[in-house]
Structure 1
Amino acid sequence: MTEANDLATAAASADPRIGLRAAVALRRLADALETLQVDNARRHGWSWQEIADALDVSRQAVHKKHAGRAVPAAGEE
């Protein structure tokens, strides 16, 4: 968790350059985590509506963002 802690510290920096770079890194991390967990949910048989509800977005939004990707079988990540 050191990297996450470092990013959180950097995000609170008074230096805008450091803070903005941290914001970009956190956004990329959040996107990767969302992708990982959407794939996990699909492997567990969750519907697009269940995933959308958990992410607090519309079913259409989550489907548009994630449906075009093949979901690896468990253990293939």
Structure 2
Amino acid sequence: MLIPALAYLVSLAAGTRHGLALGKQIAAASLGQAAGSAVAGWLFAVLIGGSFWVTAALLALGAVAALRVAEALKEVSYDPG
């Protein structure tokens, strides 16, 4: 559900360069998945509960960021025509 919504927002902000913007977004997401898996594996090896606490903190930060983006999008009016 997040990926299609994010792709929509990226394509709106990209103007005429949709492919470049979506390519950068996918590259960043893939890098995040790879780095996140490696860090979570390392944390699990060091401290079994560590990866879960870090994930909880990141989810809390993501919730705050999502609320801010939602408020910012309410202020922007989109007129397609």
- Length-normalised TM-score, structure 1: 0.48
- Length-normalised TM-score, structure 2: 0.46
- When Rg is computed on C-alpha atoms for both structures, the one with the higher figure is 2
